[in-house]
Structure 1
Amino acid sequence: VTAPDNGSLRISNDAGNDAGAIFLGAQSAAFPAIYRDSTGLQFKTGDGLNPTHIGAGRIDAEERLRLKEQASSPSAVPSYGMLYTKTDGHLYFLDSSGAETDLLDIVSEILPGNCLSGDAVGDFVYITGNKVAGRVQVTKADITNVSKMPAVGVIVSKDNPTTCDVQWSGEVLGVFTGLTAGRVHWVDTDGTPTASLPAPGADHYLQKVGVATSSDSMVLHNDANLVKRLF
């Protein structure tokens, strides 16, 4: 440890280069360390200076914070929250009770829901009743029945036959097939989006749901105003 003329504190290793470390405890693999090498400032937790240890983070030379992706969720720690990434590419927050929040879901407004076993990913859904234990109650929209409209979101994933994640706004990525980029899309007779207006018929209620950005993605714009098509 040296003190250069500019008043700063310099930590280096025995060779005198800039790869020094501050151990938060005894100098062993059992304690975390703050470590600086040629790539930036790193934080190593519970595994000394092993750069491959899961949970290691760093502030690189471009002042970007890097978080090593984890294969699974960590355990909760009383009185502390945790911010981390996982191998699915999402950023998460875990509170002290163990409740995990996918921060990407917050940005995209994705909420957990209860649905029917016949509802599929890519189906637009309507609200069937009050929330239950924080989960919205939904099932596939039906343009032939005004009581099953309007569609308020689209199912983007299903954990099991009767639970789903419903996206309400933002861009839905990789969920659909056969969309026409740049075109307005409507709810079709099967609950999926279509760029063509459904055929005329009694009790066909038209609803715009978004504009396609590619063949499998769409920016949602749910219009709750329904138009009944008669001709």
Structure 2
Amino acid sequence: MIRVSHLFKSYGTGENKFQALADVNLDIPDGSFVAVQGKSGAGKSTLLHILGCLDDFEKGEYFLDDVNVKNLKDGKLAKLRNQKLGFVLQDFSLINHKSVLFNAMLPMFFNTTPLKEMKQKARNALKTVGLAEQENKTASQLSGGQRQRVAIARAIAGNPSILLADEPTGALDTGTSKQIMELFSKLNRQGLTVIVVTHDDTVAGCCNRKIIIQDGKIIRDSPNGEG
């Protein structure tokens, strides 16, 4: 469960100060499938980074599964992020010369998971995304859609409860984008909370809930089909 209350975030100081988020209030229950939309600079990626414990904020509260994120020191914050959150980015962020299996294992190198278990979890994740037969290829040998699937496998290998995706289809063609969203939908049906930042109405239409951000404020929050 994500609960955000009266959240404020700005960048810069003085005349150069920019209000990225202003009095944001948001509840995202477990098992949600949410699209966050807005123009460039609206604050959607800033919100995602805060939800992902990658960025801080000046005022307000953020509770992740009843844990007050604001009060956590760096070590505990990193542990929470590693245990509960998975990330998918537009540029895939893979290590091109390393194997698909290595890339899928990567986040688990930062916790205490034994190597044998890491490999098994990574292989299970690759099977989930349809790349079980590609584990020994290098990331550079794959197509864009396959590379994004590896990124998704990497994000889910550690069994997070929340998947955060920032423009995950931005570098993909329409057909491949549809496949990636179908995969997100499948993961959501299996119980994973999925939050997707996107500028694409078609991508947002695949989600069950749509949040619109404008000038750092939520101006619309409704189930899909209601606006």
Range into which the TM-score falls when normalised by the shorter chain? under 0.3
Greater share of helix: 2
Greater share of strand: 1
Normalising by structure 1, what TM-score? 0.25
Normalising by structure 2, what TM-score? 0.25
Q: Which has the higher contact order (CA 8 A, sep 6+)?
A: 2
